[in-house]
Amino acid sequence: MYHKRRDFLKGISIGSVAMLTGLDPVLGQTKSRQLLPNQEGGEVYTSKKKKTDVVVAGGGLAGVCAAIAAARNGVSVILVQDRSRLGGNSSSEIRMHPLGANNPKQLRIWRETGIIEELKLADSATNLQRSFEMWDLLLYNKIVSEENITLLLDTAIVDAKVKNGKINTVKAICPLLEETYEINARYFIDCTGDAILASLASAKYMRGREGKDVFGESLAPDTSDLKTMGNSILFFSKKHKRLMPFTAPDWARKFSKEDFKYRPINSWEYGYWWIEWGGELDAIKDNRKIRHELLRILLGVWDYIKNSGDYPDSAKWALDWVGMIPGKRESRRIVGDHIMIQQEMESAELYADRVAYGGWPMDDHPPGGIDRNDLHPCQQIQFNHPYNIPLRALYSMNRSNLLMAGRNISASHVAFSSTRVMATCSVIGQAAGSVVAFCVGQDCLPKEIAADKSLLHKFQQQLLRDDQAIIGICNEDPEDLARNAKVTASAETEQGKAINVIDGYNRDIGDKGVHQWQAPMQGNQPWIRLQWEEVQKISEIQLTFDSGLHRTLFLSGKDSSYYKQTRGPQPETIADYTIEVRLNDKWVPVGEQKDNYLRLVRHKIEPVSTSSVRVRIHRTNGDTLARIFEIRCVS
């Protein structure tokens, strides 16, 4: 018996022996222990069932904004993210800065508002160390702080069940916790970029580039193919006090000056989006091969910078971070009731069901990426105006309770070349999250909202209330008591009249007019007052401030993009103020704020009956004018 026991233990580690015998591997002391379940083999994964109003698949910026929008509008959300971090291409794993509509010079005022603006303003004010990890943490904090959101990180959706044209259940798996989930929901939003959920649910989707004959687009290739834009990985480098030599591995690519004819190397603190490859492969199935080739390219580019002799100023620079996850541009696009195309975007068609806007150029890249050194790495066709995005492009044509947000919306390849950027994906995400919450409240489908003028108008007004701008639509919310008030102020500028706070617009709209109240701050504490002929019952007061939408604002590792921004709280934004109501012939404070840096602020107050509300400004974040775009009051 002794010899059998000894043979059994042969080759087993000390820790394993300790577990079986009760011997502590560190102290050598005997303990009383029992075998844990499954220690002798058998089923490892635990299965759990969950139920929610909405499943959001994918935690990039589109998914984050969709989840927050749905949760804030009162529905339960399960956000499923297959990484340990939120943010997608903007996260510390990839580190691409979120671009959008206001980057081209002719669209300067059209920076996106709503949830993505809230995130950018918070980052600008609190992330003074310029850390992408702190951006990750900001997104995590926003999600876990919403009581209606359940966050499942490190979890991938692997199956979907469909009945009568609707998804009713998805299966997800978390290897980290050895758990599987069966999640039942009323609505689903695919924010995975690759349209993974849609594919599992057999929703119709498109891949590749449509030829000119499909949609009549002048920017389309002559014939259809399955090619896409490629993927990229980025790098960070840092300057040191001593020489920092670099020797590339044998497997790195070799480049010559001719390879960079159309790819300028002007600085090297932040990598190059044009380190791009894989557009002639399958961005999903060939991901591992694409990553390795991108690493070969990146190290070859850095080798050229360091050792070609063309950049002697790089002698004291060294790589500080290299991305290991390719930033994807293009794969599947889900087919909706409407497919956005080039001509509609160029004409800025005013879809009746418009719920968001974009404005980044139509920005197509050659599928060959850096292998096509004879071509410019992109072709950008600028817009002179923002374009509209319809609700019908945000839900599946054959899976009625499936919505999509991000780069997988219903668009041709040419239209997608603009809608794909992250700030645009974010406002699409807010629209999608808001519409599922609206659908829960109305017990309807997105298709029904798009087709019903009354429902659509009500939904669009909800979006405006949540600071989602919609071109050509202004505040007509019957619940906003401020619209019927008389507005006066202690002072106002010639353009910035007090009445502007109820003109229906909470931002500049390119009509050369001013849609905000302005008053000089020097030596003053200006105030603005709303007054009604009859007493109103008020429980919420909403203020929309100026946050400098004419400037770009985003976290970036690229010095030339970062340092030309105004970082910190935006100077135009009001920092300190008090809200007062008139009671018994006295002004009584009901809300105050210090050190504000947000554009949209809501004050929920104890319901009060009053005929007058006043906002008194104590301090801005640096501007010489007090500025308010809009004041709303709700009973």
pLDDT of amino acid 43: 75
Task: Give the largest CA-CA distance in the chain.
Answer: 101
- At residue 103, the pLDDT reads 77
> What is the helix (H) or strand (E) element at residue 79, kind and residue range?
strand 77-80
Structure tokens at 183: 């999640």
Task: Give me the CATH code for the 481-634 domain, please.
Answer: 2.60.120.260
Residue 41: its pLDDT value, please? 60
- Give the global pTM: 0.93
Domain spans of the chain?
2-44, 50-92+131-210+330-465, 231-322, 481-634
Share of the chain above pLDDT 70, in %: 93
Residue 363 has a pLDDT of: 97
At 241-272, the pLDDT tens digits run 999 999 999 999 999 999 999 999 999 999 99
pLDDT for the residue numbered 39 = 59
- Return the pLDDT at 385: 94
Find out if CATH 3.50.50.60 is the number for domain 50-92+131-210+330-465.
Answer: yes
Let me know if 280 is exposed, middle or buried by CB neighbors in 10 A (0-12, 13-18, 19+). middle
The gap from C-alpha 284 to its chain's centroid, in whole angstroms, comes to 21
| Token pair of 25 as six digits | 């591997």
Q: Give pLDDT, residue 18.
A: 36
Residues of the chain with pLDDT under 70: 1-42
**Residue-wise pLDDT tens digits, 100-125:** 999 777 788 999 999 999 999 999 99
Q: What is the pLDDT, as a whole number, of residue 524? A: 83
- CA dihedral sign, ordered 104, 105, 107, 110: positive
Q: What is the dihedral of CA 505, 507, 509, 515, to 10 degrees?
A: 60
Secondary structure, 3-state, 592-628: EECCCCCCEEEEEEEEEEEEEEEEEEEEECCCCEEEE
